[in-house]
Structure 1
Amino acid sequence: MTRTSFPPGGADAADRPDPGGRPSEVFRAFLKLGLTSFGGPVAHLGYFRDEFVLRRRWLDEAGYADLVALCQFLPGPASSQVGFALGLLRGGIPGALAAWCAFTLPSAALLVLFAAGAGAFGGVIGEGAVHGLKLVAVAVVAQAVWGMARSLTPDRPRAAIALAALLVVIFAAGSTGQVAAILAGAVLGLRFCREAGASVPGHLAFPVSRRAGLIALALFVLLLAGLPLAAAASGQHGVALFDVFYRAGALVFGGGHVVLPLLEAAVVQPGWIGSGPFLAGYGAAQAVPGPLFSFVAFLGAAMAPAPAGIIGATICLVAIFTPGLLLVVAALPFWNGLRGRPLAQAAMRGMNAAVVGILGAAFYDPVWTGAVQNPRDFAVALVGFALLVVWKVPPWVVVLLTEASGVALALL
């Protein structure tokens, strides 16, 4: 059983979320997102906020921003780690696994089918459909930035921190800039946000003991150090495959596009897969919902050395996500206690404001620059934003409408 409590003067008793949830509830909620969450990791954070903060109220805005800030520090796919933590909060370890499966497996299955030659995006209609997905991301991320800015940067100091974080990320691109922006936000929060409010953030009771967290950390390190030795000793390609993809998930910050060069060096250069199929699979990964790390399911299925097919896809998929999920379990028991202290609260206010700035920078590049190419694109994205913010239309409906608009514009 987990419980999200609110401080005095917070939500009314009638408005508080249900104190617990079953894995089946978590699975259904994330399956909807796994089938409709297009647009990459930044857009996924917007979908998560809309579904679990605004609609289901599993946690409050500050708690959600704290999770996002924490996962930005950890290696691996940040959006998947946030989803895993939300499932853990709601349904314990079974809920966390349900969240990961429901959010990840739909896109993985589509990419395995693509590897088998069962699907492709080509021609005018296909290009229009992909472009429509990019415009969906513009609307979703704009909604997330707008809503989080209103909640997490309500005063001048925090607005200034968000602006500073945006500038840091713009001029120091990549995961290094993001981590630097969050660290700077924490320092500035300690200096300028101590008097921002007397209330304590809502307590997030994760059903993970400190002992379990230490075990998860030890397992993470053991696998990172032991898998290369096991691969060399066994000579089995399956073990080598698990080692390569585990290290990719363990050592890459930022996830998504950042992991691409490492994967290319790991599987193309040894000749496990050709450069052409590698890029084709990566292009297909842009057109499916869910985490971009699901691209590895295509690689595992399409590789020439055995195991390939579904077995290869499963090995790669489990290997690349395992380190990031282990680190979430390792960090949460200690993080929750730390964030309740006054100085930690001030630092968190600054970090949350920095998250707003990071999302704002990501909204411009790559979300806006990669999608809005002319006034018609701007009009479609603006309509999607208005449907989400003003008329509160469900995101999956906006996905379908914007997708259809992208195809229509391509045919004109």
Structure 2
Amino acid sequence: MKNLLEILFVSTRLGLTSFGGPVAHLGYFHEEYIRRRKWMDEKTYADLVALCQFLPGPASSQVGIGIGVMRAGVLGGIVSFLGFTLPSVIALIVFALILQGLDVGSAGWIHGLKLVAVAVVAHAILGMAQRLTPDLPRKSLALFALVGTLLWQTAFTQVGVILIAAILGFVLFKNQTDSETTNLQFPISRRFAAICLTLFFGLLIVLPILREVTSLEWIAMFDSFYRSGSLVFGGGHVVLPLLEREFVPTGWLSEEAFLAGYGAAQAVPGPLFTFAAYLGAVMNGWQGGLLATVAIFLPAFLLILGTLPFWDSLRRNPKIKGALMGVNAAVVGILISAFYYPIWTSTVFAPIDFTVAAVLFSMLVYWKLPPWIVVVTGAIMSTVISLF
């Protein structure tokens, strides 16, 4: 019970302060769970991130669920998910019901939160690069991942890069031994994991059939959100066109309402997948918002619970360790790529932006201030600057 309360407290604080998208979230997780609380080592965290990059769905949310599961079982994963996700779900449902016409995208404090994300991601990249790319071959793999994901920005490039890095890692490092061993006990049986995977694929097949043979609106909604959450590689921004295609042409909501919600989604912390809560609330009130949230995140839950036990045995297999070394190096390159685009290119426009980001980075890295203080400082600094 103590562990569950601790997970709820920490994940809720992250859910209230984690701005900047999935890559920034991984930086916040790294700072809080790995550096400060040491709930797992760097290598295990990198392995978990690599697994979630393989899976469709919101990678940062899956990493958070995985950390909760390792800490306190399935209930820990649920509590971690709720803490990280509910703040933005509630905020977006409120936006949908009350503040649809508010132009939050142009507010000065929003830009400050983006600059906070620059500092957080830069810090995470430095720490992971030192640990995961110590030699020339792995630095080269990181460069390959950086170049590949920057020049070919498609939904499947990231998965392809990771697969190639795994093959190259297997070839390059198959004769190396890893002196660092981590014995993790996943409190999930393989039988339970198999049930989760069966349920994931079963719903993917059954829901469209139920939608066709019934005229129930909530089944149609659940199917659209579940399918969108099941087929997305690359994070929250990739799911937006899928959701738009599902709901705007069919007349469930207008293009203007969709874009207003997207602006609101940029203004709240937490995973961008919670944009579904806004869409559901616009279509069917707060009940629709909760239904949409469950539907779009359910695939991520089933996949991470279904793969963790098998992943643990694989990652400790000597034949697989070389491949994981390659994958971990590629993850560093992918993080650098995402740091440049879209985080840097959509945030740092002028010397004053770089100045604020440098101050925030120093507060986080050198002065060791808590992330929430850095978040508040970034918002205040940008609000003041926007007044001049």
State TM-score, norm by structure 2.
0.97
Amino acid at match of 2:215: G
In structure 2, the residue matched to 1:49 is 30
83 and 120 in structure 1: CA distance in 2 versus 1, 3 angstrom threshold: farther
- How far the C-alpha of 1:196 sits from its partner, in A, is 5.1
Structure 1 residue runs without a partner (length 5+): 1-19
Does structure 1 conserve the Cα–Cα contact (< 8 Å) formed by 2:104 and 2:267? no
Structure 2 equivalent of residue 254 of structure 1: 234
Cα-to-partner distance string for 1:226-256 (whole Å, 9 max, x where unaligned): 1111122221101110011000001111121
Amino acid in structure 2 at the alignment position of 1:311: Q
User: Could you tell me which amino acid in structure 2 is paired with residue 251 of structure 1?
Assistant: L
Change (3 A) 1:285 1:227: same
Does the 8 Å contact 1:36/1:289 carry over to 2? yes
User: 1:293 and 1:321 mapped to 2: Cα distance?
Assistant: 8
Aligned to 1:3: none
Secondary structure in 1 matching 2:144: helix
**Aligned residue among 162, 186, 191 for 1:182:** 162
User: In 2, Cα distance between the equivalents of 1:70 and 1:275?
Assistant: 35
Question: Deviation of residue 222 (structure 1)?
Answer: 1.0
Moved more, 56-65 or 201-210: 201-210
Change (3 A) 1:216 1:107: same
Q: In the TM superposition, what is the alpha-carbon distance from 1:387 to its structure 2 partner?
A: 1.2
What is aligned with 1:333? 309
* Structure 1 residue 324 corresponds to structure 2 residue 300: yes
> Kindly tell me: are residues 392 and 194 of structure 1, through their superposed partners in 2, closer, same or farther at Cα, counting changes over 3 Å?
farther
Structure 2: gaps of 5 or more residues = none
Retained in 1: the 8 A contact 2:15–2:84? yes
- Alpha-carbon distance, 1:191 to partner: 2.2
Alignment of 1:102-141 (within 5 A): 102-118=83-99, 122=103, 127-141=107-121
Q: Which residue of 1 aligns with 2:326?
A: 350
Give the conservation status (yes or no) of the 8 Å contact 2:104–2:263: no
Alignment-derived partner of residue 48 in structure 2: 67
2:61 aligned residue (67, 80, 83) = 80
Residue in structure 2 matching 1:31, options 12, 17, 23: 12
Matched, 1:173 2:153: yes
How far apart are the structure 1 equivalents of 2:350 and 2:258? 30
Identity of aligned residues (%): 52
Are the equivalent residues in 1 in contact too, given 2:226–2:295 (CA < 8 A)? yes
Q: Distance in 2 between matches of 1:280 and 1:182?
A: 35
1:301 aligns with 281
Aligned mates of 1:123, 1:192 — CA distance in 2: 49
Preserved contact between residue 22 and residue 271 of structure 2 (Cα < 8 Å) = yes
Do the aligned partners of residues 371 and 346 (structure 1) sit closer, same or farther apart at CA in structure 2, a change above 3 Å counting? Answer: same
1:21–1:90 Cα contact (<8 Å) kept: no
Q: Deviations over 1:305-347 (max 9, x none)?
A: xxx1111001100000001110111111111001111221111
Native 8 Å contact 1:41 1:79 kept in 2: yes
Q: Deviations over 1:139-179 (max 9, x none)?
A: 11101111100111111111111111101111121332211
SS at match of 1:370: coil
Q: Greater CA deviation, 378-387 or 186-195?
A: 186-195
Give the superposition deviation at 1:195: 5.3
**What secondary structure sits across from 1:87 in the alignment?**
helix
Q: Deviations over 1:49-76 (max 9, x none)?
A: 0111111111000100101110011111
- 1:151-162 equivalences in 2 (<5 Å): 151-162=131-142
How far does residue 205 in structure 1 lie from its aligned partner after superposition? 1.7
Instruction: Give aligned pairs, total.
Output: 388
1:77 Cα deviation after fit: 0.4
Residues 102, 135 of structure 1: alpha-carbon distance in 2 compared, 3 angstrom cutoff? same
* Residue aligning to 1:222: 202
* Contact 1:121 1:127 (8 Å CA) reproduced: no
Deviations 1:188-217 (A, max 9, x none): 211223455531442222111111111001
Q: Kindly indicate whether residue 215 of structure 2 is the aligned counterpart of residue 235 of structure 1.
A: yes
TM-aligned CA deviation for residue 406 of structure 1:
1.1
Note if contact 1:62-1:201 (Cα within 8 Å) is conserved in structure 2: no
Aligned to 1:146: 126
Q: State the Cα distance separating 1:223 from its structure 2 match.
A: 0.6
C-alpha separation in 1, matches of 2:180 and 2:101:
50
CA contact (8 A) 1:200 1:345 kept: no
Residue type at the aligned position of 1:85:
G
Query: 1:372 pairs with 324, 348, 367, which one?
Result: 348
Inter-CA distance 326–333: structure 2 relative to 1 (3 Å threshold): same
C-alpha distance in structure 1 between counterparts of 2:195 and 2:103, whole Å = 47
